[in-house]
Amino acid sequence: MAKELHIRITDQIGIAEDSYGYFWPGFTALELEWRLQEIQNPEKVVLHISSPGGDVEEGLAIYNRLLELRETGVVVAAIVESHCYSIATLIAMAASPGELKARESSLWCVHKPMFPALYYANADDLRRYANSLDACEGAVNAAYVSRTGKPLAEVQAELRLDLIISAEQALAQGWIDGTLPALDGVPDAAATAKVQALKPVAFVRPKSEQQKQPENNMSDNKKPSKWAKFKEAILALVDEEEGAQASEDDNNVVALTTALEDGSTIYHDGELAVGTAVFTDEALETPVADGSHELSDGRTITVAEGAVTEITEATEGGEDTAAALASKDQEIADLKAQLETATATASKVTALEAEVKALKNKVPGGGQKQTTPPQNFNQSPEKKENNPFTAAANSLKRK
């Protein structure tokens, strides 16, 4: 059985923006690419179309991608399931000869490209918009003429009518190759097989292990919305871009350098240590020759098979350095001892000063200088009689 890939186009073509500024994703060329990955090397791709149309440029991208498939030998078929309007009819034009059909109860509509409502556009703006519309119409008409074989004037006339017609009328006017009757009267087994073949393949985007949910989860099983699928697709592109950037960063390794005693330089990824691969070029492609190599800092490295196997520290002046270090250590120890002695002496002096101060506080006057009043040896008149010298003098006088 031939490998067939069935793709349903059940929304507008491209991404629509509503009056509130919200974007609503429809069927895009990017989604077509994803869907084409579901079956490797399909022999036939069947489009099931139920679309009101949409963006002309997106429709052209899808149409040309389908033509590219046909060029590789893939058969492209299109079935109008309910309605096929506007730019969706261009996608249907990509069907291989004899493979564009519509169900009896479906509708068809072709018209000239339109521009969204314009506000405050001047004459120059309108002419520019009209030129753009003419270019779009020319591209679409070329596909219509090529597929149907109609004269360009006839195609242009039918586009001006902007009529919705039935499948029978579309067949009569040469737009489609045939109609599909209802399944009434078809044996049950055959009908079931046909319906099974028309079931859409689930749109799957591979997820990382972290995104997988356990079997027994509390989430619902509702079918993801188109917006959710579009969001997942954008996130997938971002993840892919970040992964590519990370891979590029990993490849762009910045090598470290170490100078040798002879003035040359060796390069290595990471710090120089035992086991580090060393190279003579910044691209880290040419290994350093095996053997011993003296570094500018006096160390010596031994290299075997392009990697460091031993690092010998500098030994020149080692004994003198050790003696100098020992001398410095002894000097530091002596200074510490002197500091301890000075600290102890200072503590004793402080204690003695405290004792002296305490003794001074016990001595009258507190040991501070005081002014001594002058002594007066003159006796007051009233005390002369009681003076011993006066009494002795008086006694001698009496004798």
More confident residue, 388 or 311: 311
pLDDT number for residue 350:
85
pLDDT exceeds 50 at position 195? no
For residue 343, is it within any domain? no
For residue 166, is it within any domain? yes
Is there a single domain that holds both residue 198 and residue 264? no
Is there a single domain that holds both residue 165 and residue 273? no
Is there a single domain that holds both residue 135 and residue 58? yes
The residue among 170, 185, 202 that closes a domain is 202
Gap between the Cα atoms of 310 and 389, Å rounded: 116
| pLDDT average, residue stretch 235-257 | 70
pLDDT exceeds 80 at position 277? yes
pLDDT exceeds 50 at position 354? yes
Gap between the Cα atoms of 395 and 392, Å rounded: 5
pLDDT exceeds 50 at position 389? yes
Residue pLDDT, tens place only, 61-71: 999 999 999 99
pLDDT number for residue 285:
85
For residue 30, is it within any domain? yes
For residue 226, is it within any domain? no
pLDDT number for residue 127:
93
Is there a single domain that holds both residue 170 and residue 55? yes
The residue among 265, 281, 312 that closes a domain is 312
pLDDT number for residue 149:
96
pLDDT number for residue 58:
95
The CATH code of the domain that includes 165 is: 3.90.226.10
For residue 348, is it within any domain? no
Is there a single domain that holds both residue 267 and residue 161? no
Over pLDDT 70: what percentage of the chain? 73
pLDDT number for residue 390:
66
| 253 pLDDT tier (thresholds 50, 70, 90) | low
Is there a single domain that holds both residue 44 and residue 135? yes
| pLDDT average, residue stretch 276-280 | 89
- The DSSP string of 47-99 is EEEEE--B-HHHHHHHHHHHHHHHHTT-EEEEEEEEEEETHHHHHHTTSPTT-
| 116 pLDDT tier (thresholds 50, 70, 90) | confident
For residue 361, is it within any domain? no
Average pLDDT of the chain to the nearest whole number: 80
Is there a single domain that holds both residue 297 and residue 187? no
Is there a single domain that holds both residue 142 and residue 264? no
Gap between the Cα atoms of 8 and 177, Å rounded: 19
The residue among 294, 312, 330 that closes a domain is 312
Is there a single domain that holds both residue 271 and residue 142? no
pLDDT number for residue 162:
94
Domain extent at residue 92: 4-117+126-202
Most confident among 8-12, 179-183, 194-198 (mean pLDDT): 8-12
pLDDT number for residue 251:
59
Is there a single domain that holds both residue 78 and residue 155? yes
Gap between the Cα atoms of 170 and 143, Å rounded: 16
Question: Cα(first)–Cα(last) distance of the chain, in Å?
Answer: 180
Residue pLDDT, tens place only, 286-338: 998 998 888 888 889 998 988 989 988 876 555 566 677 788 888 898 888 88
| pLDDT average, residue stretch 349-363 | 78
More confident residue, 184 or 247: 247
Q: Which stretches within the chain are classed as H helix?
A: 29-36, 56-71, 87-92, 123-148, 152-161, 167-172, 188-198, 226-251, 318-362, 388-398
Is there a single domain that holds both residue 71 and residue 154? yes
Is there a single domain that holds both residue 174 and residue 276? no
For residue 49, is it within any domain? yes
Q: State the total domains in the chain.
A: 2
pLDDT number for residue 54:
93
pLDDT number for residue 49:
97
For residue 143, is it within any domain? yes
